[in-house]
Structures are given as structure tokens and as C-alpha cells.
């Protein structure tokens, strides 16, 4: 492996949750085509002069601001002006600015719902659903509903601005997996993000951070700070083979891994499993990955496009098709196995496929296969970043 020095590391980052760095959005490029069901985008933030290092596998936290249109709707629904002083972030701010930057104004928190029940005579059903035993029913009832819906539907529930912000939770930063290597792009960080937009109750809903980056971040600072994911870093030995399972935006860290290995001249083999709905309109970074394959950096590239045929094909199906080779890489060659993306279904299905491969290819019982996989985890050879 050729000697390439790592980017300089500061002893401790001066950029933190309390003191984020004001990055600049330089690139906002759509990766999916207009025919796609998803608006998947590639973002590049300029980090010049931030004097900080992060590793592939880490995340960057983005402090988004809320949609100004939604803020104005809430102010109107409350019969407020927007310039009323309210407590926010350990100081006092005008109501509108506080709603823009300091408070979560989409999902209704329990204390807000309780206040609605207390003031709105037309909400008996909601009162029942707030009982601790009805948590699941409450979740179903609230799906697709936001704070603005309750304010509009229950105009008798009036709140003074200061009282209203007391019913809200703080606006939390959103974490995004880094999709670039500092060695390849020393003053930048790249993200791949699905922009969240959907309709419910006759209203267009928007993901806070994804639409902030996609629609409103061009001429304003993008406050960011790094978060370390030590459990998800590449092996120090550049000769170790990597198997990477990253469907959709879960491919982010693996783009960073591959860039890093390319700059370092690492000799370890790299196998990427990528999945999306349709090859023609959802194949993120197609040209980059094909070039990496052509250059020999990407040893194998297996894709699963779930909607391109009558029966759905996902990354776990591609794994099972290549079971013997995966087993050889893991058991024979000491490969590390990485998974990034959806925790609810994909990560569980991939885990089940891995256990099946270990059982069948290794000639093991179910118990022995489970022990083998747990040992991979303990030895830090099976790493997951799922959400």
C-alpha cells in the first residue's frame, strides 16, 4: 500500500452541536431522473477553513431551518404577528425567528396534543388516544398529521406565542452519512439524500432537512458539525477485502470508502451490492461505480433493481445468488461485511441472508451459523449503520 498521509486531525473539534460550522452549499444535483418515484440528490458542502478531519463511515449533522411558508401558516392560525418576543435557545427571539430555527414544528409532541385536548371540546377521540395503553393507536391516528392541522381544525384552541413555543420540542439536527473522502475532497463533504415530500390531509408535507438543502440552502449558511461512528470505520489494513451492502442512499459511506481506498492505493478487494427501484431512473452514481470497476478498484458490483421485473429483487436476493463467493470472501479471505441503510426491513433481510449463507455454505446448524455471525460482530468484521 502506498504511503499517503491522512488529512490533518485537530485534537478536538471546535465545531460542535453548540457551535456548528457555517458551510456553504456548492452543488445540489438531482441523481434520479424525472420518471423516478424518488427525488434523490447529490449535495456538496464547502468546508474550507474548518480545520477538521472525519473518516469515511462518520456522519455530519446538519442544522436545518424550517419551511418559512409553514412558519407563516402557524403564525396566522394562532392569530399572532410573528414579532412577539419568546424564549428560545437560552435567549429571547421574535416568534417567527424562533419557529424558523429553534423548534420542531411538524410532528405534534404529547404536551401539545394534551393542550389541544384541554382547549378543544371537539377532540374527545384524541383524549382517549393519549392514554398510555393506546400508544400504537395514537401513532396510526397521527400518521400524516402535523401541528398546523390541529391548529386549523381546532380554532378554539388559542395559544399565546410564548405559551405555544413551550409546548414544542427543540429542532434537532439531522445526521447524514458522509458520501466522500477527505483525502479525495479535502475541503468538502458530499451527501446523497432522498428529498422527502408527500401529501396527506390535502396538504403537501416536506422533510425538514432534506427540503432545506434541496430548496432553501443556496444563499444561506448550512450549519454542520461532525459525529464519529467508530463502529463503522474501514479496517486499518488496506489489504482486507470489503463486502458492502448499500441500497438507495445507504450507498453513501461506501462511495467514501472506495474514494479513500483509491487515494491510498489500498490493494484489498471491494465488492459492492447496490439496490434501487429502477435501473433507468434510480441508479445513483452509475458512471462513477462503472469507472471504479473498469479501473479495478471495484472488484465486483452487483445491483438489484426491484421494479424492473415482475417479481421484486432486492440486495439480499443478490447475496443468496452469490452465496458461495461471499462465504469464500468472509471465511477464507477474512473480508469485513458492512451494511448501511434502512433498519426496519432491509437490514433484517440482509442479516437473515447472511446467516443462511453461513449455514448452507459452511455446513453449519442454525445455532452454529448464529454463533458464527455473532463472532463476526464481536470481531468487528460485521458492521452496520442502519436507521
Q: What's the predicted TM-score (pTM) here? A: 0.93
238 in the same domain as 179: no
Mean pLDDT calculated for residue range 14-32: 94
Residue 3 belongs to a domain = no
Q: What is the dihedral of CA 341, 344, 345, 349, to 10 degrees?
A: 80
Q: Count Cβ atoms below 10 Å from residue 367 Cβ, excluding itself.
A: 9
Select from 127, 146, 165 the last residue of a domain: 165
The vertex-190 CA angle with 299 and 33, nearest 5°, equals 80
Query: How many other C-beta atoms are found inside a 10 Å radius of the C-beta of residue 37?
Result: 10
Asked whether residue 120 is domain-assigned, the answer is yes
Closest by CA position to 67, among listed 143, 141, 147: 147
Same domain, yes or no: 334 and 351: yes
Residue 10 resides in a domain: no
Rounded (10°) CA dihedral 77, 81, 82, 88: -90
Question: What's the mean per-residue pLDDT of the chain?
Answer: 94
45 found inside a domain = yes
- 380 in a domain, yes or no? yes
Amino acid 3: pLDDT: 40
* 283 and 359, same domain (yes or no): yes
- Kindly report, residue by residue over 70-116, the tens digit of the pLDDT: 999 999 999 999 999 999 989 999 999 999 999 999 999 999 999 99
Lowest-pLDDT choice from 96-105, 147-156, 171-180: 147-156
Q: Widest CA span of the chain, in angstroms?
A: 72
What total of structural domains would you count in the chain? 3
- State residue 125's pLDDT score: 82
Is 27:43 a contact under the CB 8 Å cutoff? yes
Q: 307 with 210, same domain?
A: no
* Whether residues 307 and 334 fall in one domain: yes
CB neighbours of residue 294 within 10 Å: 9
Of residues 284, 263, 261, the one with CA closest to residue 274: 284
Do 340 and 381 belong to one domain? Answer: yes
3-class secondary-structure state, position 210? helix
Closest by CA position to 200, among listed 251, 245, 141: 141
Domain-ending residue, one of 207, 227, 247: 227
- Quick check: 119 pLDDT over 90? no
**Residue 4: inside a domain:** no
Domain housing 26: 21-62+174-227
Same domain? For 124 and 267 the reply is no
- How far is residue 132 CA from its own chain's centroid? 30
pLDDT confidence of residue 7? 45
Q: Are residues 204 and 161 in the same domain?
A: no
Q: What is the rounded distance in angstroms from the CA atom of residue 107 to the CA atom of residue 6?
A: 42
Q: Domain with 362 in it: what CATH number? A: 3.40.50.80
Does residue 265 sit in the same domain as residue 289? yes
Q: Are residues 331 and 198 in the same domain?
A: no
Does the pLDDT value for residue 257 go beyond 80? yes
Instruction: Note whether 345 and 240 are same-domain residues.
Output: yes
| Block residue for cell numbers 463476526 | 376
Q: What is the pLDDT of residue 12?
A: 52
pLDDT at 145 over 70: yes
Give Cα separations from 242 to 285, 323, 325, 330, 333 (angstroms): 19, 15, 13, 9, 10
Distance CA 54, CA 182 (A): 7
- What are the start-end ranges of the E strands in the chain? 21-30, 40-46, 59-62, 85-88, 91-94, 174-177, 188-194, 197-200, 203-206, 222-227, 242-245, 270-276, 300-305, 336-341, 382-386
Amino acid at each position: 500500500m502506498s504511503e499517503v498521509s491522512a488529512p490533518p486531525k485537530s485534537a478536538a473539534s471546535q465545531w460542535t452541536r453548540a457551535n456548528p460550522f457555517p458551510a456553504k452549499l456548492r452543488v445540489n444535483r438531482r441523481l434520479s431522473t424525472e420518471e423516478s418515484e424518488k427525488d434523490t440528490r447529490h449535495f456538496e458542502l464547502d468546508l474550507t477553513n474548518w480545520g477538521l478531519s472525519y473518516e469515511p463511515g462518520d456522519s455530519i449533522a446538519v442544522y436545518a431551518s424550517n419551511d418559512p411558508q409553514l412558519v407563516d401558516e402557524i403564525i396566522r392560525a394562532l392569530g399572532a404577528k410573528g414579532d412577539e418576543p419568546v424564549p428560545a435557545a437560552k435567549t429571547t427571539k421574535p416568534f417567527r425567528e424562533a419557529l424558523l430555527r429553534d423548534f420542531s414544528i411538524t410532528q405534534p409532541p404529547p404536551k401539545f396534543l394534551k393542550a389541544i385536548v384541554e382547549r378543544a371540546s371537539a377532540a374527545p377521540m384524541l383524549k382517549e388516544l393519549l392514554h398510555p395503553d393506546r400508544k400504537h393507536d395514537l401513532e396510526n391516528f397521527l400518521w400524516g398529521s402535523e401541528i398546523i392541522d390541529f391548529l386549523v381544525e381546532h380554532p378554539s384552541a388559542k395559544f399565546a406565542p410564548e405559551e405555544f413555543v413551550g409546548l414544542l420540542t427543540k429542532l434537532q439536527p439531522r445526521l447524514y452519512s458522509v458520501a466522500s473522502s477527505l483525502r479525495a475532497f479535502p475541503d468538502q463533504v458530499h451527501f446523497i439524500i432522498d428529498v422527502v415530500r408527500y401529501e396527506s390531509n390535502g396538504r403537501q408535507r416536506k422533510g425538514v432537512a432534506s427540503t432545506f438543502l434541496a430548496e432553501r440552502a443556496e444563499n444561506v449558511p448550512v450549519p454542520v458539525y461532525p459525529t464519529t461512528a467508530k463502529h463503522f470505520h474501514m479496517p486499518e489494513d488496506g489489504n482486507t477485502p470489503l463486502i458492502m451492502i448499500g441500497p438507495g442512499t445507504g450507498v453513501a459511506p461506501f462511495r467514501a470508502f472506495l474514494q479513500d481506498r483509491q487515494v491510498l492505493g489500498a490493494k484489498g478487494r471491494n465488492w459492492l451490492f447496490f439496490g434501487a427501484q429502477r435501473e433507468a431512473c434510480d441508479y445513483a452514481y452509475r458512471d462513477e461505480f462503472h469507472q471504479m470497476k473498469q479501473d479495478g478498484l471495484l472488484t465486483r458490483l452487483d445491483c438489484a433493481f426491484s421494479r424492473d421485473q415482475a417479481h421484486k429483487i432486492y440486495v439480499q436476493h443478490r447475496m443468496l445468488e452469490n452465496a458461495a463467493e461471499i462465504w469464500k470472501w468472509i471465511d477464507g479471505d477474512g473480508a469485513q461485511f458492512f451494511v448501511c441503510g434502512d433498519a426496519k426491513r432491509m437490514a433484517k433481510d440482509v442479516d437473515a441472508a447472511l446467516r443462511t449463507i453461513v449455514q448452507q455454505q459452511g455446513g453449519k446448524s442454525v445455532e452454529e451459523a448464529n454463533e458464527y455471525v455473532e463472532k463476526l460482530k464481536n470481531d468487528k468484521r460485521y458492521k452496520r449503520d442502519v436507521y
